[in-house]
């Protein structure tokens, strides 16, 4: 038996493989992929906590991969809301909360934790009057932490409308 030269043997193997594929009864056409008309159908929902200079604070459910602005549009931005510089960043499973700061007189101020040390120890809070800080500190010492906007309104009374957006409720205190 004579052995075929190496080049002829390789060519013969290639031809045999082509014939096997062509005549094996296998379909070489691609089947269409089942695509949903809703681009978010296969994406999971994720909950993000939002507080600070927004119309309503609390937990918002969004599709993972939405941008942060989509979250903020659900809670309602105020005229004074300072949208985060990364508002086009995508919500991931690591995004657990968003605190929105505010602008007044072309200057950005940080929203302050209403139950934080600055309030409890009656420290100077930028762009917040001493009277407002004292009202909050007194309320917290008598009633415990402020856990929602209703309690914040109760604590601030007539000063609520001009000050609520200057504060945020930390996620652990939200009730």
Q: Are 100 and 116 in contact (CB under 8 A)?
A: no
Strand partners, 45: 63
Under DSSP, is residue 113 helix (H, G, I), strand (E, B) or coil? strand
pLDDT score at 22: 54
**Average pLDDT, 10 consecutive residues per value, the chain (175 residues):** 56 58 47 39 77 95 86 93 80 82 96 98 97 98 97 98 97 93
pLDDT score at 51: 96
90-123 burial, b for 16+ CB within 10 Å, e for fewer? ebeeebeebbbbbeeeeeebebbbbbbebbbeee
pLDDT score at 16: 56
pLDDT score at 57: 94
- E strands in 10-149: 45-52, 58-63, 81-82, 97-104, 107-109, 112-113
> What is the value of pTM for the model shown?
0.72
| Of 140, 137, 58, 130, the residue nearest 98 (C-alpha) | 58
pLDDT score at 58: 94
């Amino acid at each position: 038996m004579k052995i075929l030269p190496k080049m002829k043997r390789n060519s013969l193997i290639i031809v045999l493989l082509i014939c096997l594929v062509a005549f094996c009864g296998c379909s070489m056409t691609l089947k269409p992929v089942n695509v949903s008309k809703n681009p978010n159908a296969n994406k999971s929902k994720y909950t993000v906590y939002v507080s600070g200079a927004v119309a309503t604070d609390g937990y918002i459910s969004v599709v993972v991969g939405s941008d942060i602005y989509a979250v903020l549009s659900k809670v309602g931005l105020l005229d004074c809301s300072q949208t985060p510089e990364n508002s086009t960043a995508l919500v991931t499973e690591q995004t657990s909360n968003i605190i929105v700061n505010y602008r007044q007189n072309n200057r950005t101020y940080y929203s302050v934790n209403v139950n934080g040390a600055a309030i409890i120890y009656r420290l100077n809070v930028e762009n917040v009057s001493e009277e407002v800080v004292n009202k909050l500190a007194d309320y917290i010492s008598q009633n415990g932490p402020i856990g929602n906007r209703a309690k914040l309104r109760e604590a601030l009374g007539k000063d609520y409308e001009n000050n609520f957006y200057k504060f945020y409720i930390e996620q652990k205190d939200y009730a």
